[in-house]
Structure 1
Amino acid sequence: MKREDEGLQSLGQETNYVFNYNPGLLEAFQNRHTENDYWVRFNCPEFTSLCPITGQPDFAEIRINYVPDQLMVESKSLKLYLFSFRNHGDFHEDCVNTIMKDLIKLMQPKYIEVIGLFTPRGGISIHPFANYGKPGTKYEQLAEERFRKY
């Protein structure tokens, strides 16, 4: 299947940024190498959201690592999705878990982990880690092992 036939809406189009949380921005395409296990890594060093209590901006580096199954997330749609947190008020831990759950819903990866490296506020930084391995597979064990090491 050609990439043009996969129905991707963001790729190659003028960028319209949305600054309110919107998981509908995420798009997926077919993994052409389902016979292989391999890592896909994304790093978003300019993630922002809002503190749900004070409304002050929070800044973070978001790291997403996953092993794809049938579908993969399209990178421009991921960028737009992450930007959509700009005016979203949520705690650091909630942002990381929401991102992970939205990506699981989109592509059902074999394994995924999301790490948030939030800049310090009030002299303390928070680095939430969330992961998931497909139940009943070796990836469920991988999730347990990586969680223990984090």
Structure 2
Amino acid sequence: MNREQDNLQSLGRKTEYKMDYAPEVLETFENRHKDNDYWVQFNCPEFTSLCPITGQPDFAEIKILYIPGERMVESKSLKLYLFSFRNHGDFHEDCVNTIMKDLVKLMQPKYIEVVGLFTPRGGISIYPYANYGQPGTKYAALAEQRMMNRQMV
């Protein structure tokens, strides 16, 4: 991978942390195996955001699983993006859907799913799940099948 060739700004540079939701930090690089279908999974076990009502912190493990298309998300930029939720107030379901939609917009994956395993608050855990498959393709059918047969943890 060539940072300059792929126009990557974060990789190999001093890290600047954003203090609120910052989708602009996300970067992509070319998928060098776009003729193959394969899975990429990211696990972020230390995700934090804020309750939009109380301002109390919420903690979760965020899992992102996708089949790349032409572009792939660069991992350091993804870390910075997920970190930017730290002082951002949003409900659990909104965080998961926002992450998925931002990644779809960024890299147009063939398929993607995002799950948030939020720790209990008030004795209840919330595990929101969102997915997307490119419309009119076998990946749209995959998204529907995985949504209808989702086995929550």
The 5 Å alignment of 1:48-63 reads: 48-63=48-63
The 5 Å alignment of 1:45-84 reads: 45-84=45-84
Shift of 1:19: 2.1
Question: 2:62, 2:114 within 8 Å by CA — same for their partners in 1?
Answer: yes
CA separation in 2, counterparts of 1:32 and 1:98? 27
CA separation in 2, counterparts of 1:79 and 1:19? 13
Question: 2:3, 2:11 within 8 Å by CA — same for their partners in 1?
Answer: no
Amino acid at match of 2:45: P
CA separation in 2, counterparts of 1:141 and 1:133? 7
% identical equivalent positions: 76
Amino acid at match of 1:79: K
5+ residue gaps, structure 1, are none
Instruction: Tell me the C-alpha RMSD between the 2 structures.
Output: 0.9
Aligned to 1:5, the other structure's residue is in SS state: coil
Shift of 1:4: 3.0
Shift of 1:149: 1.5
Q: Deviations over 1:112-133 (max 9, x none)?
A: 0000000000000000000000
TM-score, normalized by length of structure 2? 0.96
Q: Which residue of 2 aligns with 1:148?
A: 148
Question: 2:22, 2:84 within 8 Å by CA — same for their partners in 1?
Answer: yes
Question: Which ranges of 4 or more aligned residues in structure 1 deviate by more than 6 Å?
Answer: none
Amino acid at match of 2:63: R
Q: Deviations over 1:90-129 (max 9, x none)?
A: 0000000000000000000000000000000000000000
Q: Which residue of 2 aligns with 1:43?
A: 43
TM-score, normalized by length of structure 1? 0.98
Q: Which residue of 1 aligns with 2:127?
A: 127
CA separation in 2, counterparts of 1:118 and 1:19? 21
